[in-house]
Amino acid sequence: MIVFKMAWRNIWRNKRRTYITMASIFFAVILSSFMMSIKEGMYAQMIDSTIGNYTGFIQINTSAFTEDHLLDDGMEFTESIITILDLESKISHYIPRIENFALAAGADQTKGSMVIGTDIEKERQATELHKRVIDGTYLSKSDEGVLVGKGLAEYLKVKAGDTLVLLSQGYHGSSAAGKFPIRGIVTFGSPELSKQLVILTLENAQQFYSCSGIVTQINIWPEDDKLDKSMLSRLEKSFDDDLDVRTWKEVLPEVSDMIEADKVEGYVFMFILYLVISFGIFGTLLMMLIERMYEFGMLISIGMKRSKLALMVWFEAVALTLAGAMLGILGAVPICYYFNLNPIKFGNEIEKMFEEYGFEAVMRTSLDLNIFLEQAVLIVLVSSILSLYPFMKILRMNALSAMKA
């Protein structure tokens, strides 16, 4: 017990030394938390702007469709499928969709586009598509009109109220051509989607492609956006072998690959950051050790056990680190909170690069509490390990030479 008491008193004996050590931990935690928060925030945004707002976290389609994305490999949206999906409690939303390509034309311009035939009522709940309408109105239940992505509408020079011409290949070799009144213009976080989406009701799309009863995929939003393993295997078991149940990581490997690659890059960067932080902490510990050489030598010479002394110094260091880390969390949260509310906007150049990848060009921090705890724990761990150096040093200390130093 005496060891704790002495450690506590030592901490308050030289306040300046205490503050300096704590400050080095404090800034280390803030820095690494902020870095991680930005990274995680970016991933969350990437996932949100494509998966959450559009593709869903799970997709069901035929295995042939997985291969080559042809409408001809569509699936029948049967009552039995609906029953299975309705009975699965961990699914919060599911949307049957037709996804296919078509040439879209306005008065003069023509552009390749992605046609989405979807259940617009379900879309309202799962993706809040109706909130994306920036001009005109959302589709009604048996609407024969279309919604056009903002980027596509700008290219084709069309607005709500105009007519859009779609030309494509239909189901089983039929041809698909039609004129559709434009009800509204929609905008997406992902500029890539805005540039190519044409949305119509599922029935209208089935009519257009001559494929009544057929959908290309069913997109699923699980509860809390969590990919529950038991639910996935339940779904896989419930459907025939020719239907694939795929998570967004399989559906959009480019997004998950990008995140994985970026994470590895992040690890390298974080490693360097930790290295810098470690040397900072190590420096203060070393200073403390040298500063108190005489004191330690004296304590040993009046009969204090080296092991007790070493433990005391280690406790001091750990206590300081813990306090610093906690203050660090308290400091990092408001900073990250600020940048979550006011995301960092990029300049034109980087914005273009982001658009090419299909993401909104803003950097929004994540407020996931785990990030801060994780970083604090990591820093505490690092400094506890570093404090082993003075610990060892004291164990081998020679009282006389220590006092002379």
Partner 1 sequence: MLYRLVILILLLQGSFSGRSQDATEIVKASEEKIRGVSSAYTEIELKVIRPKWTRELEMKSWSKGDDYSLVLITYPAKEKGTAFLKKKKDAWNWVPAIERTIKLSPSMMMQSWMGSDFTNDDFVKESSLVRDYDHKLIGEQQLDGKLCYKIELIPKPEAAVVWSRVILYIDQQELIQMKSEMFDEDDDMVKMMIASDIQTMDKRKIATTLTLVPLDKNGYKTQMKILKIEFDRPLQESFFTTQNMKSVQ
Least distance in angstroms from the C-beta of 173 to partner 1: 3
Give Cβ neighbours of residue 116 (< 8 Å, ≥ 6 apart): 97, 98, 99, 197, 198, 199, 200, 205
What are residue 182's DSSP bridge partners?
A: 146
Query: Does the footprint of partner 1 cover residue 167 (CB under 8 A)?
Result: yes
Q: How many CB atoms lie within 10 A of CB 402?
A: 20
Contact 166/102 with Cβ under 8 angstroms?
A: yes
Q: CA 236 → CA 84, 87, 222, 233, 352, distances in Å?
A: 11, 14, 15, 5, 40
Query: Does the footprint of partner 1 cover residue 172 (CB under 8 A)?
Result: yes
Least distance in angstroms from the C-beta of 249 to partner 1: 30
Give Cβ neighbours of residue 240 (< 8 Å, ≥ 6 apart): none
Q: Which stretch binds partner 1 (CB under 8 A): 10-18, 165-173, 225-233, 252-260?
A: 165-173
Give Cβ neighbours of residue 329 (< 8 Å, ≥ 6 apart): 29, 33, 372, 373, 376
Q: Which of 12, 141, 142, 173 binds partner 1 (CB under 8 A)?
A: 173
Task: Pick the closer one to partner 1 by CB: 177 or 395.
Answer: 177
Least distance in angstroms from the C-beta of 198 to partner 1: 14
Query: Does the footprint of partner 1 cover residue 178 (CB under 8 A)?
Result: yes
Contact 299/313 with Cβ under 8 angstroms?
A: no
Least distance in angstroms from the C-beta of 154 to partner 1: 22
Per DSSP, which regions of 108-174 are E strands? 110-118, 133-136, 146-149, 163-169
> Pattern 46-85, binding to partner 1, x per CB under 8 A?
----------------------------------------
Query: Does the footprint of partner 1 cover residue 165 (CB under 8 A)?
Result: yes
Q: Which of 66, 125, 169, 187 binds partner 1 (CB under 8 A)?
A: 169
Q: Which stretch binds partner 1 (CB under 8 A): 176-184, 295-303, 342-350, 370-378?
A: 176-184
Task: Pick the closer one to partner 1 by CB: 71 or 270.
Answer: 71
Contact 97/61 with Cβ under 8 angstroms?
A: no
Least distance in angstroms from the C-beta of 177 to partner 1: 4
Q: What's the rounded Cα separation, in Å, for the pair 70 and 62? A: 10
> Pattern 115-154, binding to partner 1, x per CB under 8 A?
----------------------------------------
Closest CA to 199 of 302, 340, 312, 99: 99
> Pattern 190-229, binding to partner 1, x per CB under 8 A?
--------------------x-------------------
Residue holding tokens 């931990």? 25
Where does this chain bind partner 1 (CB under 8 A)? 105, 165-167, 169-170, 172-175, 177-179, 210
